[in-house]
Structure 1
């Protein structure tokens, strides 16, 4: 299997490798991601009113997302361990889903990006919401997890096309 152009984690014979970032310049880097947990309206009300049996769903999910961003290199093979300078996780109610929207931003000054950290924060926050409310709503749906923006590095800024 020959490596494909642009796939930086593949060696000459197709084996997985960690990218050497030693020669890269340190820059300020950030990434933001989003996702959602769709649920029954009654489940959303239960969470909003603070009546979930396991406790504060939103506060716990926010903390879980921050902790997950810090552990991304332990979870995703070939990710570099990073010295993050900031991780923020926001969870907001969306009655139109109905459910909760989750967004995360990760920042650092370093030689590699933080896209995976932002995506991991959102993913684990969504999973935590599911875990804490599954006793009343096993049909919840996690979705829409995507990168919203990244800045810094040689490739420059990225924002997905709207549409």
Structure 2
């Protein structure tokens, strides 16, 4: 029987490391240098900035899922795309990739370990949305930005 849990695990896995409908993020980011990841297009977007944004929101929602509460974030979403211009080097890029992988692995583990009933629980402080819907939307958010990253990489490599 298919469950919310199995669907969500499948979605997160597809986003990060399972080649299915689109290339997974781990494969897209493989072999990119720090310089390539930090390169900005004419709109000032970079792969690294988007990776930082994805890490921020995946980690934020993971903490919320574990703690079962939603805290208010007083943050301009643009701040989540921040990249320290003085930290652009291979070591920092490697650390960014390690943190990114860890948050996806943590999502898989927490979903595998959670009770099915948790996923149908609604969040009163977040539009009464059920957890399965929030996590599913997080996966959609990931897929959207993975598409951006893929396009940025393609544009960079085609130059």
TM range (shorter): 0.3 to 0.5
More strand by share: 1
Q: TM-score, normalising length from structure 2?
A: 0.33
- Kindly indicate which of the two structures has a greater share of residues assigned to helix: 2
Asked which structure has the greater CA Rg, the reply is: 1
